Each structure stands twice: as structure tokens, then as C-alpha cells.
Amino acid sequence: MNHPTNLINVIDNLSEYLEYEAEENNAPVEISPDTLKELGQPCPAASHKQQDDDAGVKMKKTATAISVCKKCSLCKTRTKTVPGQGSLAPEIMFVGEAPGADEDAAGLAFVGRAGQLLTKMINAMGYAREEVFIGNILKCRPPENRKPSPEEMELCLPYLKEQIAVLKPKIIIALGATAIQGLLGISTGITKFRGTWSSFSGIDLMPTYHPAYLLRNPPAKKEVWQDLQAVLTRLGRKPPQAESKKK
């Protein structure tokens, strides 16, 4: 912000006066949010926005690091890096495997066919896509959509961990075996493991089937819906359909 010199002097004097008052232990002085803004001080009423701004800066920093990452050979074949996208203060974070062809072209996670199904799942839970965060274990597409190698996952995981630490979602939904393997180091079959609560860095984690699997095997949608409902119950929410039936 550019201030004229006389305004800067007023701000300086006011700052000094407030410091003096604080040092002297005098009664707190009422200051408007605008004055605090002028002084460059955080305003309590704006703390939510401030948190979002901080998260935005940190997420951008991670995305920039990802965009120039050369830790593994996927940097040679990728078109765009795919850091993930969505809310900066999400209740839910979805974690998939790795970008496919559509995501590699767009630089966005889950925008292909599996992504469209994921959007339906998110909407059925009563959220818009922008209200959750959607990311992946790998930030670059493996050629021919092959499974990520253990080395690639290990090298890429710090980015996801950074994102989780910044976003602090209430619940992580791990989509498919690779997400579970990457986050929990567990290679138990997804069929056995889905629907059972786990934890990652103190955050509740629900494993479920990957939307790409649901495209090949639609009857499994029933089990996924059970898992998503368990998530809603833990968040103290009800799916919109159940809400409207009650009315």
C-alpha cells in the first residue's frame, strides 16, 4: 500500500503511542479494524481471511516447487504438473493416485471421466467441488497411466504432506489402493480395507474405492456410498437427499 508521507507519520506516531500504552499497562485502546489494517496489524475479525491468505501463499509455494520438480524421471514426460486444487480450508480432502492424460493436459486433478464421477460423489455428499480439496499421491502423470513406482511415491509424498499440513482437512478420503499405500504404507487389498477408519498425521482417514474402479464396476458404488455416508456422519452432516426426505 502506498501512503502519502504525512499519513505515514500519523501511522508511525500512533504505533509509538500504542506501544507506549501497552508498555505502561494502560487500559486497552479501542482501534477499528481499518486502523489495524493501516498499521499492518492482524485484525481478529479478519483472522479467517488471514488464515486463508496464509494457506494460499503456502500452497502456491508448494505448487511452484512442484512445477519445477525434477526429483524423478516423470518430469521428462509430463506436460503439466498437477498439484491439486480446491478450498484452502476444506473439511474434506480427496487423495487419488496420479494424473491421467486429461489431468496432464489441464494441470488439474480429476478432470477426466473418473473426475466427473468424483464430482457426482462430492455433490451427492452435499458439497461443491470448490468446497473440498482434490489431490493425488503423484503430481506428474506416469507414462501410459502405469502404476506409480515405490520410488516415485516416496519422492513425491513430501509435497502432499506439506499440503495436508497447510490445509488441515478434518477428513482425508483415500481413493484406491495407491492412495492407501502412499499415505499409510499399507498394501492390504482395498476390498478388505475400505470403509474402515484410519488416521494420517492425526487426521481421520477413510479409504474407499477409486472412481476409475467404479466406472469399470458400477455395483461397487453402493459400498462407496456407505463410506461417504460414514464420513458425513463423522462430520455431523447428513447427505442432502436424507435432509429433503425428512421435510
Shortest distance in whole angstroms from residue 212 CB to ligand URA: 6
Using the rule CB under 6 A, is 83 a contact of ligand URA?
Answer: no
Cβ nearer to ligand URA, comparing 38 with 132: 132
- DSSP character at residue 28: P
In whole angstroms, give the CA distance from residue 238 to residue 228. 10
Burial string for 159-171 (b: 16+ CB within 10 Å, else e) reads bbebbbebbebeb
Using the rule CB under 6 A, is 97 a contact of ligand URA?
Answer: yes
What residues between 116 and 145 interact with ligand URA by CB under 6 A?
Answer: 136
Using the rule CB under 6 A, is 180 a contact of ligand URA?
Answer: no
Alpha carbon separation from 57 to 13, 51, 88 (Å, rounded): 31, 10, 10
Shortest distance in whole angstroms from residue 112 CB to ligand URA: 6
The residue range among 49-57, 61-69, 99-107, 185-193 that interacts with ligand URA, by the rule CB under 6 A, is: 99-107
User: Within a 13 Å sphere around the CA of 131, how many CA atoms are in the beta-carbon half?
Assistant: 9
In whole angstroms, give the CA distance from residue 92 to residue 125. 11
Q: Using alpha carbons only, how large is the chain's radius of gyration in Å?
A: 23
Shortest distance in whole angstroms from residue 186 CB to ligand URA: 17
In whole angstroms, give the CA distance from residue 182 to residue 106. 24
**Residue from 62, 78, 103, 159 in contact with ligand URA (CB under 6 A):** 103
Q: Please give the residue whose beta carbon sits closest to ligand URA in the complex.
A: 96
**Residue from 83, 86, 90, 99 in contact with ligand URA (CB under 6 A):** 99
User: Within a 13 Å sphere around the CA of 81, how many CA atoms are in the beta-carbon half?
Assistant: 22
Shortest distance in whole angstroms from residue 138 CB to ligand URA: 8
Write the interaction track for ligand URA spanning residues 192-231; mark x where CB under 6 A is met and - where it is not.
--------------------x-------------------
**Residue from 72, 92, 98, 206 in contact with ligand URA (CB under 6 A):** 98
- DSSP character at residue 148: P
Cβ nearer to ligand URA, comparing 103 with 227: 103
221-234 vs 113-124: helix axis angle to the nearest 10? 50
Binding site for ligand URA (CB under 6 A): 96-100, 103, 109-110, 112, 114-115, 136, 212
